[in-house]
Amino acid sequence: MSRNKSWRSSVAVRTCLVAALAASSGMIGYEWAGGQEPELAPSSPTHASTQKSALAAAPFTTADTGSCLTWDINPDGSFANFGQTDCASEHRFEVSSRENLAAYPSSEFGPNAPAPDLTRQAQLREELCKGPTTEYLGGRFDPLGRYSIAPILPPREAWAAGDRTMLCGVQVSDTNGVPTITKGKVNDQDQSRVSQAGECIAIDASGASRTVDCGTDHQFEVTKVINLEEVFPDKVPTVEEQDGYLQKQCTQAALDYLGGDDALYNSTLQAFWSTVPTNSWIGGSHTVNCSLFKASRDGKLSTLKGSAKGAFTIDGAAPPPQPTRNPLRKP
């Protein structure tokens, strides 16, 4: 396949992936909180009851705007050792605002009210967390990036005692919606969703991506990570400008990764790269991946299995032998 055709295939596939990512990005961020609040013993008085005023109940945490939180996750999925930590160290959550649901303009969260379920938590995320979080980050937030906005509610015991504190903040979630370990303040980080060279990426039916072992089914194998802010330090580059730079860089990355032009030719794989939309760039995402992939005849992504550096299959079959060609001239 010619490199020009590979480039056109890359652009077409990327367009579909961006659309799928936009549709699925809002699903990430708060599933872990539904019915599994941090199992932290409440610090309310021993005589507290569900009839006690929520305003009088001791809050389950003193964390406030700018605080970072961490906790351990036990094998059974329960939480332990929930507490504050320095944002420069490992943590799972950065607090953007502290809300009091007792002040919500209704009796929905009164003294005897049950904790909101997963659906209601998603609504509260939009109603109470989205605005303050965007303001906290100074508008520097990419909804298509690796960070998501989420709420943290009191543990069951604290809620029953009347605590109606809700923390809003940002986290990086895994494919199951569980907050992962990060370091540093969000505004000091690149928000791009990227994988490292040598990792493989699988795309499910909904368009959601996850890093997988290259020995399992996948659609992409990453060859390089490129920080475009180093290339375009003083401007927001158009997609065309990014393509102009990345076409050469990612083609060379494919050659270097596989060991030369013959190896790439015989693999039948194509160079692929992601780009950063304007809104995502402004929101704090500037890093992209170069990858290898294969487009099937119907324009869909082929399923790869095994690393392209060794024996691998494309849709269940080894790459077919390629016609002998004349040696390529060095550029």
Q: What pLDDT is attached to residue 297?
A: 85
Q: Is the pLDDT of residue 9 over 80?
A: no
Q: What pLDDT is attached to residue 56?
A: 56
Each residue of 251-278: pLDDT tens digit? Answer: 999 999 999 999 999 999 999 999 999 9
Three-state SS across the chain?
CCHHHHHHHHHHHHHHHHHHHHHHHHHCCCHHHCCCCCCCCCCCCCCCCCCCCHHHCCCCCCCCCCCEEEEEECCCCCEEEEEEECCCCCECEEEEEEEEHHHCCCCCCCCCCCCCCHHHHHHHHHHHHHHHHHHHCCCCCCCCCCEEEEEECCCHHHHHCCCCEEEEEEEEECCCCCECCECCCHHHCCCCCCCCCCCEEEECCCCCEEEECCCCEECEEEEEEEEHHHCCCCCCCCHHHHHHHHHHHHHHHHHHHHCCHHHHHHHCCEEEECCCCHHHHHHCCCEEEEEEECECCCCCECCEECCCCCCCEECCECCCCCCCCCCCCCC
With CA atoms as reference, report the closest residue to 70 among 179, 190, 186: 179
Q: Which residue has the higher pLDDT, 77 or 329?
A: 77
Q: Which residue has the higher pLDDT, 324 or 96?
A: 96
Q: Which residue has the higher pLDDT, 101 or 41?
A: 101
Q: What pLDDT is attached to residue 202?
A: 97
Each residue of 177-191: pLDDT tens digit? Answer: 899 999 999 999 999
Q: Is the pLDDT of residue 12 over 90?
A: no
Each residue of 31-75: pLDDT tens digit? Answer: 233 334 443 322 233 333 333 443 457 899 999 999 999 999 999
Q: What CA–CA distance (Å, rounded) separates 239 from 262?
A: 30
Residue whose token pair is 């708060």: 30
Residue extents of the structural domains in the chain: 62-188, 190-314
Record the pTM: 0.79
Q: What pLDDT is attached to residue 1?
A: 47
The helix-helix angle for 3-24 and 239-258 (nearest 10°) equals 110
Q: What CA–CA distance (Å, rounded) separates 94 from 269?
A: 41
Largest CA distance in the chain: 86
Collect all residues with Cβ–Cβ distance below 8 Å to 217 and sequence separation of at least 6. 202, 303, 304, 305
With CA atoms as reference, report the closest residue to 58 among 169, 168, 154, 167: 154
pLDDT (average), residues 136-163: 95
Q: Is the pLDDT of residue 6 over 90?
A: no
Q: What pLDDT is attached to residue 120?
A: 95
Each residue of 221-254: pLDDT tens digit? Answer: 999 999 999 999 999 999 999 999 999 999 999 9
Each residue of 189-205: pLDDT tens digit? Answer: 999 999 999 999 999 98
Q: What pLDDT is attached to residue 330?
A: 56
Q: Binning pLDDT at 50, 70 and 90, where does residue 206 land?
A: confident
Please report how many Cα atoms fall inside a 13 Å half-sphere around the Cα of residue 199, on the Cβ side.
14
Q: What CA–CA distance (Å, rounded) separates 116 from 108?
A: 9
Q: Is the pLDDT of residue 13 over 60?
A: no
Question: Which residues, listed in sequence order, are joined to residue 273 by a DSSP beta bridge?
Answer: 290
